[in-house]
Structure 1
Amino acid sequence: MDSETPAGGPGRDLTPARRAGGPRTRVQIPGRTAPQVTSWFRAGFALSVGALLAWHLADAVLQLTSLLTLLLLAVFIAVSLEPVVAWLERQGLRRAWSVALVVVGLAVLLTALLAVVVPPVGTEVSALVGAVPGWLQQLHDHQSTLGRIEDHYHLVERAKEQLGQGGFGSGAFGGVLGAGQLLLSTVTSTVIVVSVALYVMAALPVIKAFCYRFVPRSRRQEVEEITEEILARTGRYMLGNVLTSAVAGLATFAWCAAAGVPYAGALGVFVALMDLVPMVGSTIGGVVVSLVALSVSLPVALATAGFYIAFRLLEDYLIMPRAMKFVVDVHPVVTVVAVLLGGALLGLVGALVAVPAAVALGLVLDAYVFPRTDNA
């Protein structure tokens, strides 16, 4: 045996580390790839963790839906009032004073609306409370309608049983608790919307400048132009919508006052608010007013329904086109679909912002999508 040949046989060369008893090293043989070990446990664990995180993220978004809706409403209000604020700035006022003047004007308008709506509601509640003793007296009168109903169904006895078992008390407590929660939720939502709207109105130029910085400089001017056009059209649309809603409210007040329908002022405010929702708002308002007119007589209710049909035609073909001239350019079918989708997704707020969203989508398509498809 050759003295230079390793003990393991010819062709085997032991490294110094191997001869010294060190750790073995894997030798990569040319033409072969290293074996890859697939860890199914690792892949399954990664997929499970990803699915769990995605589920928690979706659940968090769903829980924040109400808050996101309030924020969207606040931003929409601020954008809708921007034309008024900008006009006051062009008159020489600083932005802070312009925003303050707009807020004061809205507060005065809201106070006037409450002054119109609250007295009829208070009168109704007072009339209801005053009618309770008479109803209790009629329950013991066997000749009256309530007395015959009491003789047949024994409502007083059943009410006493519920009071004795605590069912009525717990139900009343639940109703009071639910009313308190509703009141607290309404106040909280109002504070959130007003606070965010005020902040956005005051800082809108700063917010826009900050958002534009995320766009590359080469395309920033184009994005600024399309964004300003969307905001301008949204503001003009809302001002036109408010104008048509005011006309609908005044027309309702005049008709109810002339026809003797009760609470003409409150119904006028209700119709004006409902008319802010495109396509369906005025119809809902007309149905409600027609039902209230039934308290007068059936002919008055039918005449009220006919009045709203005529007014809806007048609004769709005369008032709305003149108020919305050069404001939006959206096909009526697109408007209907947008309102339905917005209402299904976000309720009343979604229906309110549906048309401006459709306008924004149309401008984006005209600016970025259609030129590429036409030149392809």
Structure 2
Amino acid sequence: MIIRLWSRRRAEALAGKGFERGGAASGDAADDPRQPHGGHGLRVRPTSSWFATAFSVGLGLTLAYTMLETVLRISGILTLLLLALFVAISLEPVVAWLARRRLGRGPAVILVVIGLLAVLAGFLALVVPVISNEISGFAEAVPKWLKQLHDHHSTLGRLEDRYHLVSRARAQLGAGAGQAVIGGLLGAGHIVISAVTGTALVVVVTVYLMVGMEQLKRFAYRFVPLSRRAGVVGLSERILLRVGRYMLGNVITSAIAGLATFLWCVALDVPYAAVLGMFVALMDMVPVVGSTIGGVVVSLVALAVSFPVALGTAGFYTGFRLAEDYLIMPRAMTYAVNVHPIVTVVAVVIGGALLGVIGALIAIPVAAGLGIVLEESVFPRIDTM
């Protein structure tokens, strides 16, 4: 009894000095090959290493910073890929409808791509001759304007005599005029090349996503546990259906804007009515800023007729913009995606602030998807608590 009591007190004393039962009692016992991991003796209590902790934290912060820098560098590419995914999801109902008509998914995708290319070709066929004619007219008018600058009896000549526009322009440009022109040309060339490559990337990725949409969805669903997979699949399919309806509603409102523009231009003899109508229809598909840009362009073209016509055109687009924002678009979006008008406006503003035009374009479908998730997954769980 005395020996047992002494052993217990001895073990407690050693534990207070950094030892505990279950390991080696000393360095010799720890090095004993008969007890490589400690037997029933005493084991040294492990202590945390500040160096290892600091190294782990530093490594984690370094990796996080590197990942953030990488994401920021490729943010433009990621935005284009997101746009391609959105376009592929938006066209999925059309592709699926054609595929159910015994065409197969490949031919259905080909037909959709051909249709889009036909629309683009028609737009270019209308726009390119107009632009080339305007450029030719501008090039022919420049020598006449230069001649009028030296004619003291013309309007441009009187303005030159009074304000000395040419001399002021030369003084502002100075010796760096050539470099400024070259820099401007290089910058414009870079913008054009970036736009062409970005468009090509979006088109190619969109085609690949449309072809492999079913395989992509099946692959994504495999990350969901089998017990919950059926519910997730049903929820995802409803979200994709809402996105398709949103695009249909957006196309309808854009077609209304383009038709209204065409009729207005024809009624007031504004030139290039068909081109302006198609341009406004395409721009109107971009929420918030698209219809405004289209209205400004049409109003500027209307100056070729007269200032009152341009002023009336600006008033027409102001009224049409208000009607579209508060009457046409909310009703169409409520039917298409069942999103409240307030949520529509807030989603577009937030999406535009985060990702610009692309964010505004995908904001309403994202809001519709979040609404479905809340209504069918989050709120039922909260109600059962």
TM bucket (normalised to shorter chain) is 0.7 to 0.9
Q: Which one of the candidate residues 185, 190, 203 is aligned to 1:181? A: 190
- For 1:151-170, list aligned pairs within 5 A: 151=161, 152-153=163-164, 155=166, 159=170, 165=175, 167-170=176-179
Aligned residue for 2:208? 199
The 1:317/1:175 distance shift into structure 2, 3 A limit, reads closer
* Superposition deviation, residue 279 in structure 1: 4.6
Aligned-CA RMSD value = 2.9
Q: How does 1:36-115 map to 2 (within 5 A)?
A: 36=47, 38-39=49-50, 41-115=51-125
Asked if 1:128 corresponds to 2:138, the answer is yes
Distance 2:239 2:360 in 1: 18
CA deviation profile, 1:127-184 (whole Å, cap 9, x unmatched): 2111110122122223334334544536259649967x4x222122212211221121
Whether the 8 Å CA contact 2:333–2:339 is kept in 1: the answer is no
Q: Quick one: distance in 1 between partners of 2:375 and 2:159?
A: 67
Q: Tell me if structure 1 keeps the 8 A contact 2:84–2:205.
A: yes
**How many residue pairs end up in the alignment?**
351
Is the counterpart of residue 339 in structure 1 residue 336 in structure 2?
Answer: no
Residue 7 of structure 1: aligned partner = none
Pick from 227, 236, 254: which aligns with 2:263? 254
Residues 117 and 265 of structure 1 are in contact (CA less than 8 Å); yes or no, is this contact kept in structure 2? no
Any stretches of 5+ residues in structure 2 without a counterpart? 1-25, 32-37
Is residue 367 of structure 2 the alignment partner of residue 358 of structure 1? yes
Task: Give unmatched runs, 5+ long, in structure 1.
Answer: 1-21
Shift of 1:305: 3.4
Q: How does 1:286-325 map to 2 (within 5 A)?
A: 286-312=295-321, 315=324, 319-320=328-329, 323-324=332-333
Note the 1:12-51 alignment, pairs <5 A. 24=28, 34=45, 36=47, 38-39=49-50, 41-51=51-61
**Partner SS for 2:337:** coil
Whether 1:231 and 2:236 are equivalent positions in the alignment is no
How far did residue 344 of structure 1 move?
Answer: 0.8
* Bigger RCO of structures 1 and 2 (CA < 8 A, at least 6 apart): 1
Percent identity reads 56
Give, in whole Å, the separation in 2 of the partners of 1:299 and 1:149: 24
For the residues of structure 1 that align with 2:266 and 2:251, how far apart are their CA atoms? Answer: 22
Distance change in 2, residues 1:331/1:277 (3 Å): same
Q: What letter corresponds to residue 107 of structure 1 in structure 2?
A: L
The 1:45–1:322 alpha-carbon spacing in structure 2 relative to 1, beyond 3 Å, is closer
Secondary structure class of the residue paired with 1:105 = helix
Call closer, same or farther: CA 1:105–1:26 in 2, change over 3 Å.
Answer: closer
